[in-house]
Amino acid sequence: TRTPVTVTVTGAAGQIGYALLFRIASGQLLGADVPVRLRLLEIPQAVKAAEGTAMELDDGAFPLVSGIDILDDATRAFDGTNIALLVGARPRTKGMERGDLLEANGGIFKPQGEAINAGAADDVKVLVVGNPANTNALIAQQHAPDVPADRFTAMTRLDHNRALAQLSKKSGVPVADLRKVTIWGNHSATQYPDIFHAEVSGKNAAETVNDQDWLENDFIPTVAKRGAAIIEARGASSAASAASAAIDHVNLWVNGTAPDDWTSMAVVSDGSYDVPEGLISSFPVTTKNGKWEIVQGLEINDFSRTRINASVTELSEEREAVRKLGLI
Ligand code: NAX
């Protein structure tokens, strides 16, 4: 039998945690033959609620779960961890300025980065879901100098999946026959969902749809503002879809993308597509043997260039703001 993989989930008592943990326990994160050891990290006030979730995990009697620990200490939670899912974050509350938000999250992601640096397994892979996800990932990464920078990623797969869903509706082609959509930039309203390289049943998506008005005034805003629309409809923010995207992100990273497709991941930029080096920005990415690579050589038209630049500028500003706050 295989040795269990240690998976740490922060914000385990939250609504994404609630959806995510059961998917991990059932084998959908890593594979139906991979046992997992779960570590649930919460703040002290939420430990009791995390214990409740753990009781329900027990009651799922999942054959792949070899143990569950509930912790309120980051050092212990990340000790020996192979997969770190950083979901818990400080949400923006009324009257909070962006600087306050970045600072509050710096207080979470700096110590978590340090704990990962100190004790995580050599093969650790980190996914940041908690918002502002790209910049939180940057803060954690900057405080883990001994961990290769390419192990720190932030989630834009939910945006990618939202783009697939909208493209499927518009084209009348099932999601299974869509390939190569891309989310560029920041997981925020400035993100750019790109279908110029996407394929609908093997044909170019932008040419097949051939509707610039839909692209500009429907598709892009619908994908970028979907989070707000979900809150409006459900009275609570996206949770099961966010958990599902986290499963996709890690599963693809570990097990590889299909030969004729790619995924979107926010990863440390090497300067590709003129995205400043070191920013954690979303790119089209292929994965193989647990490593990701940015898809190279795509032609970027003027329409795309303007939008990618706008989102990347926002990321540069966030990096500047956390520098000024002394968080990196
Ligand atoms: P909840 O408020 O339901 O849960 C967050 C949990 O995190 C709480 O239980 C809280 O106690 C815990 N927490 C806070 N600080 C912590 C710390 N230092 N260590 C451990 N746990 C801590 O939020 P939920 O709906 O689960 O969303 C979690 C995060 O995901 C939010 O930041 C949210 O904005 C973000 N999202 C990111 C998405 C993405 O695509 N990247 C989409 C969905 C979601 O909006």
pLDDT digit string (tens) for 25-44? 999 999 999 999 999 999 99
State the pLDDT at residue 62. 98
State the pLDDT at residue 234. 95
Q: Which atom of ligand 1 is nearest to the CA of 50?
A: 9
Give the pTM.
0.98
Question: Which segments of 144-279 are extended strands (E)?
Answer: 152-154, 178-179, 182-184, 192-194, 199-200, 203-204, 263-268
Q: Tell me: the pLDDT tens digits for 74-120?
A: 999 999 999 999 999 998 888 888 889 999 999 999 999 999 999 99
- pLDDT above 90 covers a percentage of the chain that reads 96
- The yes-or-no verdict on residue 1 having pLDDT over 90 is no
Task: Kindly state the tokens that stand for 283.
Answer: 């790119």
Catalytic site residue from 143, 160, 187, 249: 187
Question: 80 with 103: CB under 8 angstroms?
Answer: no
**Confidence tier at 321 by pLDDT (50, 70, 90):** very high
Highest mean pLDDT among 1-5, 97-101, 320-324: 320-324
Q: Which atom of ligand 1 is nearest to the CA of 74?
A: 19
State the pLDDT at residue 144. 98
Is-catalytic flag, 160? Answer: no
- 105 in a labelled binding site: yes
State the pLDDT at residue 204. 98
**Confidence tier at 320 by pLDDT (50, 70, 90):** very high
State the pLDDT at residue 206. 98
CATH topology for 5-154 is Rossmann fold (3.40.50)
Determine the Cα angle at 286 with ends 266 and 179, to 5°. 95
Distance 12 CA to ligand 1 centre (A): 9
Query: Measured on CA atoms in the order 87, 89, 92, 93, is the torsion positive or negative?
Result: positive
For residue 215 and ligand 1, the question of a CB distance below 6 A is answered with no
Residue nearest to atom 10 of ligand 1 (CA): 11
Distance 16 CA to ligand 1 centre (A): 7
**Confidence tier at 154 by pLDDT (50, 70, 90):** very high
Average pLDDT, integer, range 67-71: 98
Q: Tell me: the pLDDT tens digits for 253-303?
A: 999 999 999 999 999 999 999 999 999 999 999 999 999 999 999 999 999
Q: Which residues of 56-84 are buried (b: 16+ CB within 10 A; e: fewer)?
A: ebeeeebebbeebebbeebeebbbebbbb
- 256 in a labelled binding site: no
State the pLDDT at residue 51. 98
For residue 131 and ligand 1, the question of a CB distance below 6 A is answered with yes
Helices 302-324, 98-119: axis angle to 10 degrees equals 80
Chain-centroid distance, C-alpha 298? 23
For residue 42 and ligand 1, the question of a CB distance below 6 A is answered with yes
Per-domain boundaries in the chain: 5-154, 157-317
State the pLDDT at residue 310. 98
Average pLDDT, integer, range 229-246: 96
- The yes-or-no verdict on residue 2 having pLDDT over 90 is no
Task: Burial-class residue 100 by CB neighbours within 10 Å (0-12, 13-18, 19+).
Answer: middle
Q: Which CATH class is domain 157-317?
A: alpha beta
Question: 203 with 151: CB under 8 angstroms?
Answer: no
Average pLDDT score over the chain: 97
**Confidence tier at 24 by pLDDT (50, 70, 90):** very high
Q: Tell me: the pLDDT tens digits for 48-66?
A: 999 999 999 999 999 999 9
